[in-house]
Amino acid sequence: MSEVVASPRVTAIIIVFNGERFIGEAIASILAQTLTMWELLVVDDGSTDATGEIVARIAATDPRIQLLRHRDGGNHGMSATRNVGIAAARGEYIGFLDADDMWMPHKLAEQVAILDAAPQTAMVYGRTQIWHSWDPSSGAPDFFYSLGVPPNKTYPAPRLFDQLLENVHQTPTTCNALIRRDAVEAVGGFDPAFRTMFEDQLFFAKVMVDFPVYVSGRWWARYRQHDAATSAREADADVLALTHIRYLTALRHHLLRGGRRFRPERLTIERHLAIIRLRHVARTARSRLKRMMVR
C-alpha cells in the first residue's frame, strides 16, 4: 500500500456525478502514473448511483486518494465541484480529470518536468486523443486535433488566447493540462455560474490571457466519446449558442475588471460575440419562418 504524500507535487482532481460506469478506469489511470508524488481528490457532485461506494472502496487501498462532497451533499455543477477540489488541494501543480476520461501513464512525470524547468510558465498542455475505440461497436476512428502552433515551446500571453476562442485546433482541456496552483488561484478558479458547458473554456481563457503557456506535441490524455457525456447531452444548437454568448460575456467582464483601460483581447471577444449573436438570430428567424409556413 502507498503512503500519504506529505508534500505532493501534484493534486489530481476528478469531479463526478453518477459516474459508476467509468470512474474506476479514471482512477486506475492515475494510479498507473510513473510519477507517484500525487494526491487524488475525487469530488462527488451529489451522485445517486454507486459512485461513492466505488471511490470509497478504492480509497481504502491507497491513502493518497480522498473522497470529497459538497457540504450539503447536493449537486452544484461542474465548476463549483472543481472549486471544492481546488480549495482542498495541497500540490504545487493541479491537474483535472473527468470521470469518463483517462491519463496516459507518463503524463504527470513529463508535465512536471516541463514546468519545473520553466518557472515562469503557468500551464502546460499537449495532445488529447478523441477516443472512440473504447467502444468497438462505434465504428468511429480515434483521432487528434492539430495543435495549431509549433509544439514544444512556451508562448507568452496572450499569444494562444485567439486560438482558444476560435476553437478549431487543440486547446487545453481539463484532462490534458497541468497548471500551477498559484495561477489557478490567481484567476479565481472556476466560475460557479457555469454548471456545465463552457466552464472549462472560461477558466482556460482567463489563464491564457495573462500567463505564459507551454504547448507540447506529446499525447497525454484520452477523451472518451459517448452519448452520456455532457457535450453530447447539451448539443442543442440554441442552448449551445446562448451558453456560448454567456461565456464570451463573462470573459469580457473579466477583462474589464482587469484594471487596464484597453486590452486588445477585448476586440477579439467583441468580434466573436457579434458572430455568435448573428448566427443565433439567423437560426431563430429561420425556425420562425418554417413554423409560419407550416401554419
**Tens-digit pLDDT profile for the chain (295 aa)?**
567 778 999 999 999 999 999 999 999 999 999 999 999 999 999 999 999 999 999 999 999 999 999 999 999 999 999 999 999 999 999 999 999 999 999 999 999 999 999 999 999 999 999 999 999 998 899 999 999 999 999 999 888 988 888 888 989 999 999 999 999 999 999 999 999 899 999 999 999 988 999 999 999 999 999 877 655 444 577 888 888 888 888 888 888 776 454 566 666 777 777 777 766 666 665 565 455 444 4
| Residue 289: per-residue pLDDT | 46
E-strand stretches of 156-275: 177-180, 213-224
| Residue 266: per-residue pLDDT | 66
Q: With beta carbons less than 8 A apart as the criterion, state whether 10 and 92 touch.
A: yes
Distance CA 127, CA 132 (A): 16
**CA-only gyration radius of the chain, Å:** 20
Tell me, rounded to whole angstroms, the distance of Cα 140 from its chain centroid. 23
Half-sphere exposure of 68 (CA within 13 A, CB side): 24
For residue 163, which amino acid is it? Q
| Residue 264: per-residue pLDDT | 64
Any idea what DSSP says for residue 3?
P
93-98/10-16 β-pairing: parallel
Give 190's contacts (C-beta < 8 A, 6+ positions apart).
78, 79, 80, 82, 83, 86, 199, 200, 202, 203
- Residue 222 corresponds to which cell in the numbers above? 484520452
Tell me, rounded to whole angstroms, the distance of Cα 142 from its chain centroid. 20
| Residue 260: per-residue pLDDT | 52
Residue (of 50, 43, 40) closest to 18 by Cα position: 50
For residue 214, list its beta bridge partners. 124, 154
* Angle at 220 (CA atoms; ends 178, 150), nearest 5 degrees: 85
Match 473579466 to its residue by C-alpha cell: 254
| Residue 236: per-residue pLDDT | 75
Q: What is the pTM of this model?
A: 0.87
Give 8's contacts (C-beta < 8 A, 6+ positions apart).
37, 38, 39, 64, 90, 91, 92
Distance CA 209, CA 231 (A): 24
